[in-house]
Amino acid sequence: MNDAYPQDLGLLINGEWHRGGRNVHVVTNPATEAPLAELPLATEADLDAALHAAQRGFHIWSAMSAHQRARLMMRAAQLLKERKESIARVLTLENGKPLVDSLGELDRAIETIEWTAEEGKRTYGRVMVPRSRALSEMTIKRPVGPVAAFAPWNFPVVLAARKVAAALAAGCSTVIKPAEETPASCIALAQAFTDAGVPAGVINMVFGVPAQVSNHLIASTTIKKVSFTGSVPIGRLLCKLAGEQLKPVTMELGGHSPVIVFDDVDVERIATMCAAFKYRNAGQVCLSPNRFYVHERIYDAFVARFVAAAQRIEVGDGLRPGTKMGPLNNVRRLRAAEAFVEDACARGARIETGGKRVGTRGYFFEPTVLTCVDEGASILNEEPFCPVVPIMPFATTEEAIAKANGVEFGLAAYAFTDSLTRASQLVESLEAGWLGINSFTPSLADAPIGGLKTSGIGYEGGPEGLDAYLHTKYVSQASLV
- Residue 1: what pLDDT? 58
Q: Are residues 314 and 195 in the same domain?
A: no
**Residue 479: inside a domain:** no
424 and 364 within one domain: yes
Helix or strand holding residue 251 (H, E):
strand 249-252
| Continuous segment of H or E residues that includes residue 68 | helix 66-95
Total count of domains within the chain: 2
Q: Which residues contact 306 (CB under 8 A, 6 or more apart)?
A: 271, 272, 274, 275, 292, 369, 389, 391
Q: CB-based contacts of 403: which residues, under 8 Å, 6+ apart?
A: 258, 291, 293, 392, 394
For residues 276 and 387, membership in a common domain is answered with yes
Low-confidence stretches of the chain (pLDDT beneath 70):
1-3
Are residues 274 and 175 part of one domain? no
Same domain for 462 and 415, yes or no, is no
Which listed residue (114, 180, 252, 431) is catalytic?
Answer: 252
Q: What is the pLDDT of residue 443?
A: 79
For residue 118, the domain's CATH number is 3.40.605.10
Is residue 244 part of the annotated active site? The answer reads no
Decide if 3 is inside a domain. no
d(CA 280, CA 87): 20
Which DSSP symbol is given to 460? Answer: B
Same-domain check for residues 265 and 246: no
Do 276 and 168 fall into the same domain?
no
Residue 4 falls within a domain, yes or no? Answer: no
Query: What's the pLDDT score for residue 480?
Result: 81
Q: At what angle do helices 232-244 and 210-219 cross, to 10 degrees?
A: 30
Q: Which domain holds residue 282?
A: 257-444
DSSP string over 272-287? HHHHHHHTGGGG--TT
49 & 188 share domain: yes
Does residue 380 sit in the same domain as residue 282?
yes
The reply to whether 184 falls in a domain is: yes
Cα 232 to its chain centre, rounded Å, is 13
- Element (H or E) spanning 446, and its range? none
Give, for 338, the enclosing helix (H) or strand (E). Answer: helix 331-346
pLDDT of residue 131: 87
Active site residue 239: no
Percent of the chain scoring above 70 in pLDDT: 99
Whole-number pLDDT of residue 99: 98
User: Does residue 279 lie within any of the structural domains?
Assistant: yes
269 shares a domain with 194: no
Asked if residue 215 belongs to a domain, the reply is: yes
| Nearest-5° Cα angle at 311, 305 to 317 | 140
Indicate the residue type of 395.
Answer: A
Q: Looking at 239, 274, 286, 386, which residue is catalytic?
A: 286
CATH of the domain at 284: 3.40.309.10
Inside any domain, residue 5: no
Residue 144 and residue 229 in one domain? yes
Where is 227: in which H helix or E strand?
strand 225-229
The pLDDT assigned to 2 comes to: 66
* Domain shared by 237 and 344, yes or no: no
Residue 408 lies in a domain: yes
